[in-house]
Structure 1
Amino acid sequence: MSLAKRIKYPSVIERYYTKYYRTNVHSETNNDTLVLVHSNRVCVLMLSERHPILTNPLKIHSIESLASVNQSMSGKSKRGADYVQPNKLLYRIKCDNEQIFTICASIKGRLVELNDEIIKTPDLLQQKPQGEGYLAIFIPSLKDAENNLKLLVTEQDYISSKQSS
Protein backbone atom coordinates (compact mmCIF):
# COMPACT_ATOMS: atom_id res chain seq x y z
CA MET A 1 0.00 0.00 0.00
CA SER A 2 1.43 3.37 -0.98
CA LEU A 3 2.15 6.10 1.54
CA ALA A 4 -0.49 8.39 -0.02
CA LYS A 5 -3.22 5.81 0.64
CA ARG A 6 -2.21 5.39 4.30
CA ILE A 7 -2.10 9.09 5.18
CA LYS A 8 -5.38 10.50 6.45
CA TYR A 9 -5.70 14.02 5.16
CA PRO A 10 -7.73 16.59 7.10
CA SER A 11 -11.20 17.38 5.78
CA VAL A 12 -12.04 20.72 4.20
CA ILE A 13 -13.69 21.79 7.46
CA GLU A 14 -10.61 20.86 9.49
CA ARG A 15 -8.31 22.68 7.06
CA TYR A 16 -10.16 25.93 6.46
CA TYR A 17 -12.57 26.52 9.35
CA THR A 18 -12.36 27.03 13.09
CA LYS A 19 -15.16 25.42 15.10
CA TYR A 20 -17.07 27.39 17.73
CA TYR A 21 -20.23 26.37 19.56
CA ARG A 22 -23.31 28.07 21.00
CA THR A 23 -24.82 25.96 23.76
CA ASN A 24 -28.45 25.67 24.85
CA VAL A 25 -29.76 27.87 22.04
CA HIS A 26 -33.10 29.53 22.83
CA SER A 27 -32.70 28.23 26.43
CA GLU A 28 -33.35 24.66 25.28
CA THR A 29 -31.12 22.03 26.93
CA ASN A 30 -28.65 20.39 24.51
CA ASN A 31 -29.94 22.53 21.64
CA ASP A 32 -26.36 23.33 20.60
CA THR A 33 -25.23 24.81 17.31
CA LEU A 34 -21.88 24.74 15.56
CA VAL A 35 -20.50 27.88 13.91
CA LEU A 36 -17.71 27.30 11.41
CA VAL A 37 -15.62 30.46 11.03
CA HIS A 38 -13.47 30.86 7.91
CA SER A 39 -10.43 33.14 7.80
CA ASN A 40 -12.40 35.50 5.51
CA ARG A 41 -15.06 35.89 8.29
CA VAL A 42 -17.73 33.86 6.47
CA CYS A 43 -19.60 31.81 9.08
CA VAL A 44 -21.58 28.62 8.45
CA LEU A 45 -24.21 27.60 11.01
CA MET A 46 -24.85 23.89 11.60
CA LEU A 47 -26.23 21.60 14.26
CA SER A 48 -23.61 20.53 16.79
CA GLU A 49 -22.35 16.96 16.50
CA ARG A 50 -23.88 16.37 19.96
CA HIS A 51 -27.31 17.79 19.13
CA PRO A 52 -30.11 15.34 20.08
CA ILE A 53 -31.28 15.18 16.45
CA LEU A 54 -27.89 13.73 15.52
CA THR A 55 -27.14 11.63 18.62
CA ASN A 56 -30.60 10.14 19.21
CA PRO A 57 -32.55 8.41 16.47
CA LEU A 58 -35.09 11.25 16.29
CA LYS A 59 -37.16 11.28 13.12
CA ILE A 60 -37.64 14.82 11.80
CA HIS A 61 -41.29 15.50 11.02
CA SER A 62 -40.89 18.99 9.56
CA ILE A 63 -38.65 22.04 9.43
CA GLU A 64 -40.27 25.46 9.41
CA SER A 65 -38.34 28.52 8.28
CA LEU A 66 -38.93 31.46 10.63
CA ALA A 67 -36.83 33.97 8.69
CA SER A 68 -36.36 35.08 5.12
CA VAL A 69 -33.38 36.29 3.15
CA ASN A 70 -33.43 39.61 1.33
CA GLN A 71 -32.97 38.69 -2.33
CA SER A 72 -31.64 42.13 -3.35
CA MET A 73 -28.07 41.54 -2.12
CA SER A 74 -25.18 42.79 -4.21
CA GLY A 75 -21.41 42.98 -4.20
CA LYS A 76 -18.67 41.12 -2.41
CA SER A 77 -19.86 42.12 1.08
CA LYS A 78 -23.51 41.34 0.19
CA ARG A 79 -24.87 44.86 0.65
CA GLY A 80 -28.60 44.73 1.23
CA ALA A 81 -28.52 41.48 3.20
CA ASP A 82 -30.56 41.42 6.39
CA TYR A 83 -28.51 42.14 9.51
CA VAL A 84 -29.50 39.70 12.25
CA GLN A 85 -28.90 39.50 15.99
CA PRO A 86 -27.79 36.29 17.78
CA ASN A 87 -31.32 35.55 19.05
CA LYS A 88 -33.01 35.90 15.65
CA LEU A 89 -35.19 32.82 15.12
CA LEU A 90 -34.29 30.94 11.93
CA TYR A 91 -35.91 27.50 12.08
CA ARG A 92 -38.30 25.40 14.11
CA ILE A 93 -37.56 21.68 13.82
CA LYS A 94 -40.40 19.33 14.82
CA CYS A 95 -39.64 15.69 15.50
CA ASP A 96 -42.05 12.74 15.44
CA ASN A 97 -41.83 12.37 19.23
CA GLU A 98 -43.38 15.88 19.55
CA GLN A 99 -40.01 17.37 20.56
CA ILE A 100 -39.40 20.82 19.06
CA PHE A 101 -36.05 22.56 18.61
CA THR A 102 -35.84 26.27 17.86
CA ILE A 103 -32.70 27.30 16.00
CA CYS A 104 -31.43 30.87 16.37
CA ALA A 105 -28.79 32.73 14.39
CA SER A 106 -26.27 32.36 17.28
CA ILE A 107 -24.13 35.23 15.94
CA LYS A 108 -24.55 38.82 14.78
CA GLY A 109 -24.01 39.48 11.08
CA ARG A 110 -25.45 39.69 7.59
CA LEU A 111 -27.68 36.71 6.83
CA VAL A 112 -26.54 35.73 3.34
CA GLU A 113 -28.28 32.40 2.91
CA LEU A 114 -30.79 30.08 4.55
CA ASN A 115 -30.60 26.48 3.38
CA ASP A 116 -33.92 25.83 1.61
CA GLU A 117 -32.89 22.25 0.82
CA ILE A 118 -33.29 21.15 4.46
CA ILE A 119 -36.93 22.28 4.37
CA LYS A 120 -37.57 20.16 1.26
CA THR A 121 -35.40 17.25 2.49
CA PRO A 122 -35.19 17.32 6.33
CA ASP A 123 -33.11 14.11 6.37
CA LEU A 124 -30.12 16.15 5.12
CA LEU A 125 -29.67 17.39 8.70
CA GLN A 126 -28.93 13.83 9.80
CA GLN A 127 -27.37 12.37 6.66
CA LYS A 128 -24.97 15.22 5.86
CA PRO A 129 -24.87 17.46 8.97
CA GLN A 130 -21.51 19.05 8.11
CA GLY A 131 -22.16 19.41 4.43
CA GLU A 132 -25.43 19.86 2.60
CA GLY A 133 -27.26 19.87 5.94
CA TYR A 134 -25.96 23.30 6.99
CA LEU A 135 -28.50 25.78 8.36
CA ALA A 136 -27.36 29.25 7.28
CA ILE A 137 -24.44 31.37 6.08
CA PHE A 138 -23.50 34.71 7.66
CA ILE A 139 -20.95 37.44 7.04
CA PRO A 140 -20.29 39.46 10.22
CA SER A 141 -18.65 42.89 10.13
CA LEU A 142 -15.05 43.14 11.34
CA LYS A 143 -16.18 44.51 14.70
CA ASP A 144 -18.93 41.92 15.11
CA ALA A 145 -16.61 39.06 14.18
CA GLU A 146 -14.61 39.72 17.35
CA ASN A 147 -17.71 40.21 19.50
CA ASN A 148 -19.28 37.00 18.16
CA LEU A 149 -16.38 34.97 19.49
CA LYS A 150 -17.26 36.18 23.01
CA LEU A 151 -20.73 34.61 22.63
CA LEU A 152 -19.31 31.30 21.45
CA VAL A 153 -17.33 28.48 23.06
CA THR A 154 -14.19 26.99 21.52
CA GLU A 155 -14.20 23.37 20.39
CA GLN A 156 -11.92 22.30 23.25
CA ASP A 157 -14.07 24.04 25.90
CA TYR A 158 -17.22 22.58 24.37
CA ILE A 159 -15.87 19.02 24.43
CA SER A 160 -14.66 19.32 28.02
CA SER A 161 -17.99 20.83 29.18
CA LYS A 162 -19.94 17.99 27.56
CA GLN A 163 -17.69 15.34 29.10
CA SER A 164 -18.07 16.80 32.59
CA SER A 165 -21.87 16.96 32.34
Structure 2
Amino acid sequence: MNSESIINPKYDLSQYEKISEKYEKDPLAYLEQYYTKYFLIDSNENTSEDFYIYQAPNKLCVIGLAPTHPLLQQSQKVKSIKFDEKISQSINKKKQNPLSVKSEICVITTEEGRNYSIKAGIVGWVINFNMRLDKDDDLLQKKPFTNGYLAIIKPKQDVPSKALNHCIDEEKYKEIRKLNI
Protein backbone atom coordinates (compact mmCIF):
# COMPACT_ATOMS: atom_id res chain seq x y z
CA MET A 1 0.00 0.00 0.00
CA ASN A 2 1.51 3.29 -1.04
CA SER A 3 1.02 6.69 0.56
CA GLU A 4 -1.10 7.89 -2.38
CA SER A 5 -3.77 5.25 -1.69
CA ILE A 6 -3.89 6.30 1.96
CA ILE A 7 -4.19 10.01 1.18
CA ASN A 8 -6.60 9.60 -1.76
CA PRO A 9 -8.37 6.27 -1.32
CA LYS A 10 -10.44 5.01 -4.25
CA TYR A 11 -13.94 3.87 -3.42
CA ASP A 12 -16.21 1.80 -5.57
CA LEU A 13 -19.50 3.62 -5.02
CA SER A 14 -21.40 1.33 -7.38
CA GLN A 15 -21.93 -1.10 -4.51
CA TYR A 16 -24.07 1.53 -2.76
CA GLU A 17 -26.23 2.50 -5.76
CA LYS A 18 -29.00 0.02 -4.93
CA ILE A 19 -29.22 1.31 -1.38
CA SER A 20 -29.32 4.91 -2.61
CA GLU A 21 -32.05 4.11 -5.13
CA LYS A 22 -34.14 2.50 -2.41
CA TYR A 23 -33.81 5.59 -0.20
CA GLU A 24 -34.76 7.92 -3.08
CA LYS A 25 -37.95 5.93 -3.71
CA ASP A 26 -38.85 5.53 -0.05
CA PRO A 27 -37.43 8.02 2.47
CA LEU A 28 -38.37 5.66 5.33
CA ALA A 29 -36.41 2.75 3.86
CA TYR A 30 -33.66 3.16 6.46
CA LEU A 31 -36.21 2.25 9.14
CA GLU A 32 -36.65 -1.12 7.47
CA GLN A 33 -32.91 -1.64 7.25
CA TYR A 34 -31.76 -0.51 10.68
CA TYR A 35 -34.69 -0.67 13.11
CA THR A 36 -36.79 -3.53 14.42
CA LYS A 37 -40.41 -2.38 14.53
CA TYR A 38 -42.70 -3.25 17.41
CA PHE A 39 -46.18 -2.01 18.22
CA LEU A 40 -48.21 -1.73 21.38
CA ILE A 41 -51.93 -2.14 20.76
CA ASP A 42 -54.43 -0.11 22.78
CA SER A 43 -56.23 -2.43 25.20
CA ASN A 44 -59.51 -0.51 24.76
CA GLU A 45 -61.40 -2.08 21.84
CA ASN A 46 -63.29 1.17 21.11
CA THR A 47 -60.16 3.21 20.46
CA SER A 48 -56.95 2.57 18.62
CA GLU A 49 -54.47 4.69 20.53
CA ASP A 50 -51.62 2.45 19.44
CA PHE A 51 -48.00 3.46 19.33
CA TYR A 52 -44.78 2.17 17.90
CA ILE A 53 -41.49 1.20 19.47
CA TYR A 54 -38.65 1.13 16.95
CA GLN A 55 -35.56 -0.55 18.37
CA ALA A 56 -32.20 0.51 16.96
CA PRO A 57 -29.21 -1.85 16.73
CA ASN A 58 -27.80 -0.23 19.90
CA LYS A 59 -31.03 -1.37 21.68
CA LEU A 60 -32.37 2.18 22.24
CA CYS A 61 -36.10 2.45 21.57
CA VAL A 62 -37.83 5.27 19.73
CA ILE A 63 -41.44 5.80 20.84
CA GLY A 64 -44.11 7.43 18.66
CA LEU A 65 -47.67 7.28 17.41
CA ALA A 66 -48.65 4.28 15.28
CA PRO A 67 -50.43 4.81 11.94
CA THR A 68 -53.79 3.89 13.50
CA HIS A 69 -53.59 6.44 16.32
CA PRO A 70 -56.55 8.88 16.17
CA LEU A 71 -54.18 11.86 15.96
CA LEU A 72 -52.89 10.50 12.66
CA GLN A 73 -56.29 9.34 11.38
CA GLN A 74 -58.59 12.23 12.23
CA SER A 75 -58.16 15.88 11.41
CA GLN A 76 -57.44 17.00 14.96
CA LYS A 77 -55.08 19.87 15.63
CA VAL A 78 -52.55 19.42 18.42
CA LYS A 79 -52.79 22.20 20.98
CA SER A 80 -50.05 21.08 23.35
CA ILE A 81 -47.70 18.27 24.22
CA LYS A 82 -46.79 18.12 27.90
CA PHE A 83 -43.93 15.81 28.79
CA ASP A 84 -43.94 14.46 32.33
CA GLU A 85 -42.05 17.02 34.43
CA LYS A 86 -40.69 14.51 36.93
CA ILE A 87 -39.29 12.28 34.17
CA SER A 88 -37.92 15.28 32.31
CA GLN A 89 -35.99 16.45 35.37
CA SER A 90 -34.54 12.98 35.95
CA ILE A 91 -33.11 12.53 32.43
CA ASN A 92 -29.35 11.88 32.63
CA LYS A 93 -29.42 11.59 36.43
CA LYS A 94 -27.57 8.66 37.98
CA LYS A 95 -30.33 7.56 40.36
CA GLN A 96 -33.17 7.61 37.85
CA ASN A 97 -35.82 4.97 38.54
CA PRO A 98 -36.88 2.92 35.52
CA LEU A 99 -40.30 3.55 34.04
CA SER A 100 -42.85 0.77 33.82
CA VAL A 101 -44.65 -0.18 30.61
CA LYS A 102 -47.68 1.84 31.76
CA SER A 103 -45.80 4.94 32.96
CA GLU A 104 -47.21 8.07 31.36
CA ILE A 105 -44.47 9.96 29.51
CA CYS A 106 -46.64 12.71 28.04
CA VAL A 107 -50.14 14.00 27.42
CA ILE A 108 -51.15 15.35 24.04
CA THR A 109 -54.07 17.79 24.07
CA THR A 110 -56.00 18.71 20.93
CA GLU A 111 -57.72 22.00 20.20
CA GLU A 112 -61.00 20.08 20.52
CA GLY A 113 -60.09 19.38 24.16
CA ARG A 114 -59.31 15.67 23.74
CA ASN A 115 -56.39 14.33 25.82
CA TYR A 116 -54.22 11.42 24.74
CA SER A 117 -52.05 9.80 27.38
CA ILE A 118 -48.87 8.29 25.94
CA LYS A 119 -47.23 5.48 27.92
CA ALA A 120 -43.58 4.44 27.95
CA GLY A 121 -44.43 1.03 26.51
CA ILE A 122 -41.20 -0.47 27.81
CA VAL A 123 -39.40 -0.83 31.14
CA GLY A 124 -36.45 1.53 31.00
CA TRP A 125 -35.14 5.06 31.27
CA VAL A 126 -36.05 8.06 29.13
CA ILE A 127 -32.86 9.45 27.67
CA ASN A 128 -34.51 12.03 25.43
CA PHE A 129 -37.83 13.75 24.90
CA ASN A 130 -38.29 15.22 21.43
CA MET A 131 -38.13 18.91 22.33
CA ARG A 132 -38.58 19.88 18.66
CA LEU A 133 -42.26 19.19 19.29
CA ASP A 134 -42.34 22.22 21.63
CA LYS A 135 -41.52 24.49 18.71
CA ASP A 136 -43.34 22.58 15.97
CA ASP A 137 -46.08 20.26 17.21
CA ASP A 138 -47.13 19.69 13.58
CA LEU A 139 -44.12 17.35 13.33
CA LEU A 140 -46.09 14.83 15.35
CA GLN A 141 -48.67 14.53 12.57
CA LYS A 142 -46.60 15.42 9.50
CA LYS A 143 -43.58 13.21 10.21
CA PRO A 144 -44.70 10.78 12.94
CA PHE A 145 -42.21 8.05 12.03
CA THR A 146 -39.11 10.25 11.81
CA ASN A 147 -38.81 13.76 13.25
CA GLY A 148 -42.17 13.47 15.04
CA TYR A 149 -41.15 10.77 17.50
CA LEU A 150 -41.99 11.41 21.18
CA ALA A 151 -39.15 9.91 23.20
CA ILE A 152 -36.09 7.70 23.20
CA ILE A 153 -35.97 5.10 25.95
CA LYS A 154 -33.09 2.88 27.02
CA PRO A 155 -34.56 -0.51 27.96
CA LYS A 156 -33.66 -1.92 31.36
CA GLN A 157 -33.39 -5.35 29.75
CA ASP A 158 -30.83 -5.64 26.93
CA VAL A 159 -32.36 -8.74 25.39
CA PRO A 160 -35.13 -7.61 22.99
CA SER A 161 -37.11 -10.84 23.39
CA LYS A 162 -37.45 -10.03 27.10
CA ALA A 163 -37.68 -6.23 26.92
CA LEU A 164 -40.34 -6.19 24.20
CA ASN A 165 -42.13 -9.50 24.71
CA HIS A 166 -45.42 -7.67 25.40
CA CYS A 167 -45.30 -5.98 21.97
CA ILE A 168 -46.23 -7.32 18.56
CA ASP A 169 -44.27 -7.17 15.33
CA GLU A 170 -45.27 -5.12 12.30
CA GLU A 171 -46.83 -8.05 10.43
CA LYS A 172 -49.10 -8.96 13.37
CA TYR A 173 -49.96 -5.27 13.87
CA LYS A 174 -51.08 -4.92 10.24
CA GLU A 175 -53.10 -8.11 10.53
CA ILE A 176 -54.87 -7.02 13.74
CA ARG A 177 -55.59 -3.49 12.50
CA LYS A 178 -56.39 -4.71 8.97
CA LEU A 179 -53.83 -2.43 7.39
CA ASN A 180 -52.44 -2.63 3.93
CA ILE A 181 -49.42 -0.33 4.25
The structural deviation recorded for 1:162 is 0.5
The structural deviation recorded for 1:12 is 1.7
TM-score (norm 2): 0.75
Distance 1:128 1:30, change over 3 A: same
Q: Distance in 1 between matches of 2:21 and 2:158?
A: 39
> What stretches of structure 1 of length at least 5 have no aligned partner?
74-78
Q: Distance in 1 between matches of 2:152 and 2:46?
A: 22
Q: Does 1:111 align with 2:126?
A: yes
Residue 76 of structure 1: aligned partner: none
Query: What SS is found at the alignment partner of 1:137?
Result: strand
The structural deviation recorded for 1:144 is 6.2
Distance 1:50 1:95, change over 3 A: same
Checking the alignment, whether the CA contact within 8 Å between 2:91 and 2:128 is kept in structure 1 is no
> What stretches of structure 2 of length at least 5 have no aligned partner?
1-16
Q: Distance in 1 between matches of 2:169 and 2:92?
A: 34
Query: What SS is found at the alignment partner of 1:150?
Result: coil
Higher relative strand content: 1
The structural deviation recorded for 1:146 is 2.9
Q: Distance in 2 between matches of 1:104 and 1:144?
A: 21
Checking the alignment, whether the CA contact within 8 Å between 2:91 and 2:127 is kept in structure 1 is no
Q: Does 1:21 align with 2:35?
A: no
Deviation digits for residues 33-52 of structure 1 (CA, Å, limit 9, x no counterpart): 10001122111001101211
The structural deviation recorded for 1:147 is 2.5
Q: Does 1:153 align with 2:171?
A: no
The structural deviation recorded for 1:72 is 4.0
Of 22, 25, 30, the residue aligned with 1:8 is: 22
Checking the alignment, whether the CA contact within 8 Å between 1:108 and 1:144 is kept in structure 2 is no
Residue 69 of structure 2: aligned partner: 51
How many matched pairs? Answer: 157
Higher relative contact order (CA 8 A, sep 6+): 1
Distance 1:61 1:72, change over 3 A: closer
Query: What SS is found at the alignment partner of 1:8?
Result: helix
The percentage of counterpart residues that share the same residue type is 28
Query: What SS is found at the alignment partner of 1:85?
Result: coil
Trace 1:40-79 onto structure 2 (pairs within 5 A).
40-66=58-84, 67-73=87-93
TM-score (norm 1): 0.82
Q: Distance in 2 between matches of 1:51 and 1:72?
A: 30
Checking the alignment, whether the CA contact within 8 Å between 1:69 and 1:81 is kept in structure 2 is no
For the aligned residues, what is the CA RMSD? 2.7
Checking the alignment, whether the CA contact within 8 Å between 2:100 and 2:124 is kept in structure 1 is yes
Of 113, 117, 129, the residue aligned with 1:98 is: 113
111-120 vs 40-49, which deviates more?
111-120
The structural deviation recorded for 1:57 is 1.2
Checking the alignment, whether the CA contact within 8 Å between 1:45 and 1:134 is kept in structure 2 is yes
Residue 134 of structure 1: aligned partner: 149
